Structure 1
């Protein structure tokens, strides 16, 4: 099946509303304001508003029916003043260069917030993995590594899983890189299977970080986790694990959704059973009755909304209808700037993506450290280290927001961007 045919089957942008917006432009505007508030000069912004390095590649893949399909891929490396760059690779038909650039900047912010010795990076391939066989996905993953092999490596740029990629794809990429370099290099990539040097706790790391951020923020608002009714939009790796952990901790998950829509029950959903039903791409609604459109789902009654799908889900067209008092962004860029302002005016607290979903890159850092040391930690050690860092970072951002009288998102940008500005100053770049 051709890429074009596959894209038609997926229904490109099914999760994206008509109120789409340029996330790169919005990110640049927020960075400029953060740097202005911190008192940095224009040259700092000029260096941080775009990645220092971007590669566009064309990847020929022989498909199972014998014809050759050519895919477009990207790798953006935002800033390496602090250390090697780090960031995921996504397989999705809606991947764009601007999106990849913005995501690389967000990765830098996450690393800055959590004091990780990395700059941000991000990669993406324009494809529909749901219309591809595993062998086609393998050839695509290996072709991508061959195309970018000169600019990545354990001391240059370390890829990881992202949307529609997983430990199997990381294993293929790792194997291809090892073949090219002619030696094993487990630190080249994170999110690998355990047997190939992966870290315990990596699969659920992003979700666990989201839950810790939710818990800590809710407690500052005077609410206990067991009292909360939660909507989770998106039921892939992150969304399903958020729902599972919250369910296990006693919160009531009243709604979940995927690309086909959502299901809602004010008394709570049977999360373990729904997880058993979902496919490898996080789809469960085709097997369920009573499915409602995503736009309606997002406005259902709840205490907490966890958007764990794609960008621009909460926008000026629906922000005034959101019923949650707390939003914790598990996805990257789910809230537009216009929506942010509307939510703030309505008294709704938003825990921003660069804080809430940074558990993934944090445990990816743990994996890289373990690979470099050749010494591996227990899952309990990994989870405890992650929780400690999440708790400290959440309170740091919320305290910064109060101190500067800004929204948590602006506080996160101010905390996250400062290390890069200072590192560039010390290096003599600005």
Structure 2
């Protein structure tokens, strides 16, 4: 069911960002030029990619790359393979990446890419040919100093390796920094695989310390047991949090006395493995309304809406998915004093580690796992402190989301002012 956001406005991820931007403009004065800079991407490129399939037939795939803003540095953002990808989704994810890089204080702008495809129906050979053709189509638009792709939904280190190789085949020289999220033994970075989860754990640590909450007295529910959710469960369990519920696309499990997270993580291979580890089987909808201290949506967008927000009983929401809370849901949570740690802050550990990988590639200096983890922890702590300072320093900033958006938008606009593209 769609929320009523006003005349002619539907509740999509695209519109969600526009609404949040409008809220920021009500807190701080933005000139028309500044609003125009934030509302439109620098560059949007579409390509129809022909790929020869295993049966000899040619199939054409719609593909996209949006470079939203490069005021703060080369643009950065993942490439997703999904049948529902379209240019509007890619545009708004690129907008979110712009803010995420700024709030994490890394010298990148925001970008995103995508291919309209169901990768599950492709053979390994077809998937490789598609990935290489994507690089051919966008070769002139990407580069280590221009726009650096990374994995996203349904893409991984293997695909990034193919893409890097194709770029180097075309350019005729080594360019490990053209793409991040590569396998560690192919110039990738240690700790990259779980960096998003570690970053989220650090943000929750900082919030808990600031709020004087005791982790060992806190019950946590995590929606999504993919890479991000499963690793986050391990990190939080090790910190003393009581993980009482987790879920995947097929449903979830709940155990009021706590789930054996380490055992589940070690044995989890498929959806059905999940259901042997909880005293009660629940739906994803039920998980969102459990009586817990911390709720972590770590799956897909638009999970907390006006249809269910009144049943949400958590005191803290850590957004590890992109856009899991709709604007109306967000308004309700704010009015009821629920602290929402927003996606552009909470899940910024992934792009921060990607930045570390790019630095290592461009300097040809490779770091230990401990060094990456330590640097990531410090970086996320500093990002939290900046947002916290913004939240506490203005009487007009009421929520963590408003503080994060305001902090990141002002950072982007300051870069544009230095470049002469915005009013001093």
How far apart, CA to CA, are the structure 1 residues paired with 2:366 and 2:311? 47
How far apart, CA to CA, are the structure 2 residues paired with 1:264 and 1:26? 31
Q: Select between 365-374 and 32-41 the one with higher mean Cα deviation.
A: 32-41
Q: Which runs of 5+ in 2 are unaligned?
A: 4-9
How far apart, CA to CA, are the structure 2 residues paired with 1:223 and 1:129? 43
Answer yes or no: is the 8 Å Cα contact 2:253–2:274 preserved in 1. no
1:419 match: 411
1:78 match: 68
2:221 match: 231
1:302 match: 292
Secondary structure at 1:149's aligned position in 2? helix
Q: How does 1:102-117 map to 2 (within 5 A)?
A: 102-117=92-107
Asked if 1:130 corresponds to 2:117, the answer is no
Asked if 1:406 corresponds to 2:393, the answer is no
2:378 match: 388
Answer yes or no: is the 8 Å Cα contact 1:260–1:286 preserved in 2. no
2:6 match: none
Shift in Å, 1:39: 2.4
- Which of residues 222, 228, 245 is equivalent to 2:235? 245
Q: TM-score if structure 2 supplies the norm length?
A: 0.92
How far apart, CA to CA, are the structure 1 residues paired with 2:193 and 2:306? 33
Q: How does 1:24-39 map to 2 (within 5 A)?
A: 24-39=14-29
How far apart, CA to CA, are the structure 2 residues paired with 1:170 and 1:288? 33
Secondary structure at 1:391's aligned position in 2? helix
Distance change >3 Å, CA 88–CA 34, structure 1 → 2: same
Answer yes or no: is the 8 Å Cα contact 1:218–1:225 preserved in 2. yes
1:201 match: 191
Answer yes or no: is the 8 Å Cα contact 1:95–1:125 preserved in 2. yes
Q: TM-score if structure 1 supplies the norm length?
A: 0.91
Deviations, residues 22-59 of structure 1 (Å, cap 9, x unaligned) = 22222123224324533231111111112111111212
Q: Please, what is the CA RMSD of the aligned residues?
A: 1.8
Secondary structure at 2:259's aligned position in 1? coil
1:150 match: 140
Secondary structure at 2:149's aligned position in 1? strand
Distance change >3 Å, CA 130–CA 243, structure 1 → 2: farther
Secondary structure at 1:66's aligned position in 2? coil
Distance change >3 Å, CA 184–CA 225, structure 1 → 2: same
Shift in Å, 1:353: 0.3
Q: How does 1:250-399 map to 2 (within 5 A)?
A: 250-279=240-269, 283-285=270-272, 288=275, 291-399=281-389
Asked if 1:175 corresponds to 2:162, the answer is no
Secondary structure at 2:69's aligned position in 1? coil
Answer yes or no: is the 8 Å Cα contact 1:32–1:45 preserved in 2. no
Q: How does 1:10-49 map to 2 (within 5 A)?
A: 21-49=11-39
Answer yes or no: is the 8 Å Cα contact 1:59–1:73 preserved in 2. yes
Answer yes or no: is the 8 Å Cα contact 2:2–2:11 preserved in 1. no
Answer yes or no: is the 8 Å Cα contact 2:267–2:273 preserved in 1. no
Shift in Å, 1:403: 2.2
Q: Select between 72-81 and 126-135 the one with higher mean Cα deviation.
A: 126-135
Shift in Å, 1:286: 6.7
Shift in Å, 1:228: 1.8
Q: Select between 348-357 and 169-178 the one with higher mean Cα deviation.
A: 169-178
Answer yes or no: is the 8 Å Cα contact 1:93–1:127 preserved in 2. yes
Shift in Å, 1:81: 1.6
How far apart, CA to CA, are the structure 2 residues paired with 1:422 and 1:29? 22
Shift in Å, 1:203: 0.7
Shift in Å, 1:400: 1.5
Shift in Å, 1:93: 2.2
Shift in Å, 1:102: 1.0
Q: How does 1:52-67 map to 2 (within 5 A)?
A: 52-67=42-57
Answer yes or no: is the 8 Å Cα contact 1:262–1:285 preserved in 2. no
Q: Which runs of 5+ in 1 are unaligned?
A: 1-16
Distance change >3 Å, CA 181–CA 308, structure 1 → 2: same
How far apart, CA to CA, are the structure 1 residues paired with 2:339 and 2:398? 12
How far apart, CA to CA, are the structure 1 residues paired with 2:127 and 2:237? 33
